[in-house]
Structure 1
């Protein structure tokens, strides 16, 4: 666990102990859409490692503190109170703002996937979209006139059956292969001379 997470863990652990949660666990997870979670069944508070690191990098220490106190308030209020008046009163009593969601100006993890419709509307995803979708702003139901075109970190991906050149350093640098599968972050390529399909990250391949 990186040093910054060690520091955050120590601070959050101390805050939990100060508020009587000595028998609760504190863990990190890989969530990118929410900063924290309270798991009553496990008696644990979970913090997003990617977001905590991002907050620390951006100097948003108030957001780290707010996230920790937000989840402590949930643990103290109990599972039935969610973000109601009881939870809000407890949150404010222990030093939280009582805000129900992350501040709009708080640092965020940028999504790798951006879908754009013919009208220019965009939507984002942190995981590769599955299937074919259309713009919900242009049509409430699926409409092929408003199909979304997805890019990964600004680059449109190659289709299955197309040919790409490997740009990653190493033995296969410069090799040209055929896309057999498009996975979450990598192509599976059939390359002449390779005993099995190569897995190549999207950013390490270019149209051939």
Structure 2
């Protein structure tokens, strides 16, 4: 009798009125399973979700020094490819069509190298600006600890790094103007200008804190 009852329970249709509660737990498809304290951990989100999946801006996450090395390698590759294409187009015995194609390919690679150079200068400006901000912070900390000499030395170093930021921002802006302020090149110039502004602000604030001891000019 008990066996027949269990078979009948298994054959019971699973309609809207058929609900089987197997203890307190998760409500799934009309039935409650498991213990509420025994839930499975949340699954990991897919790496394809979110804005980062587009790949835009991923290179900045590697840090400024890694980005600087990456842009250097990219520039060398593009300029090298441009030189090879231009040189190969002038080899004797080539048809005029291949010469034209070689020149066009060389010009295209050269243009890409120039745009990448704008980002190289922008990244260099960011590196120098970061150094200026950190050194200016060390100067303020030293001043708060009554270490006047250390504060003055750090402020002078911060001023030097701010000038280096300016020297890197100028060619970034020049390249953006050279290529007609294309959006991609203008982005590099804007990054360099932001870095320069931040570096100069940090140095100016630190000079204000140190007062008469800020002889960095």
Instruction: Report if TM-score (shorter chain) is over 0.5.
Output: no
Q: Which has the higher contact order (CA 8 A, sep 6+)?
A: 2
Q: Which has the larger radius of gyration?
A: 2
Q: TM-score, normalised by structure 1?
A: 0.22
When normalised by structure 2's length, the TM-score is: 0.21
